[in-house]
Amino acid sequence: MRNVAPSRSLVRRANQVKTLAFVVGAAGIFALAVGILFNVVPLVAVENPGFGVYNFVRGFALFAGVIMVVAAIALAVRAFTWKVDNDLAIEIGRLLSPNLNDDYTLIRNISKLAIGYVDAALVGPPGVLIFRLFDGAGSFINEGENWMRIKGRTPTGAPDVAPLSFSPTRQTQADMDKVAAYLQSRNLSGVPMYGMVVLMRNPPSARIERLINPKLPVTQLPELWQTLQR
């Protein structure tokens, strides 16, 4: 199995964001300097009819400068922390590599504007399998698209559950739809699309307590290959 990650394109995108952060930051500093200058050195007298416009301009320059500097800092943080690979997807690759031949390619850490972010996709003769790698801890119940975390047990011994604020199944389905739309835009419509949620933590740190008519397959990392063979 070929095991790849689009690292060069991600590094290139991170560098583009760094450049954008520099440009936005420079523009913000310039706007701040203009705003401060106009406040320290009044160029228009208060009694001048145009003072209202002047006052608005210097206030807006300060406001815009602050916004741009904050935006530049956020962009810089994003650029310098941009991950060019996914450690969880690397684990998937290590597990699958001994079992699949070169007809299959695992693409890790997919990040494209047209698709968004996808943990990993396995491409092979059967089609495209989208992985959602769930690194949460605890015991879970998956019913259809809905996920619940088991908080404990009631006095009768039944699970005391709370719904998760997100659904790994819905996230996987959304990834599948985006990848399918991207392939269709490249004249590759009709490619079979599959999805799977993988719990990356080993029991007892994380485990599936119960599956009730799951919309997509759910498995734990140690059981991934056995699940794929079904």
Supply the mean pLDDT for the chain.
90
Average pLDDT rounded to a whole number, residues 186-214: 93
User: What is the percent of the chain where pLDDT is above 70?
Assistant: 97
Kindly report, residue by residue over 76-133, the tens digit of the pLDDT: 998 887 776 788 999 999 999 999 999 999 999 888 878 888 999 999 999 999 999 9
| Residue 197 confidence (pLDDT) above 90 | yes
| Residue 10 confidence (pLDDT) above 80 | no
Task: Kindly write down the DSSP assignment for every residue of the chain, as one continuous string.
Answer: -EEE--HHHHHHHHHHHHHHHHHHHHHHHHHHHHHHHHHHS--S-TTSTTHHHHHHHHHHHHHHHHHHHHHHHHHHHHHHT--SS-HHHHHHHHHHGGG--TT-EEEEEEEETTTEEEEEEEEETTEEEEEEEE---EEEEEETTEEEEEEEE-TTS-EEEEE-SS-HHHHHHHHHHHHHHHHHHTT-TT--EEEEEEE-SPTTTEEEEEEES-SS-EEEGGGHHHHHH-
| Residue 7 confidence (pLDDT) above 70 | no
Kindly report, residue by residue over 81-90, the tens digit of the pLDDT: 777 678 899 9
Average pLDDT rounded to a whole number, residues 145-164: 88
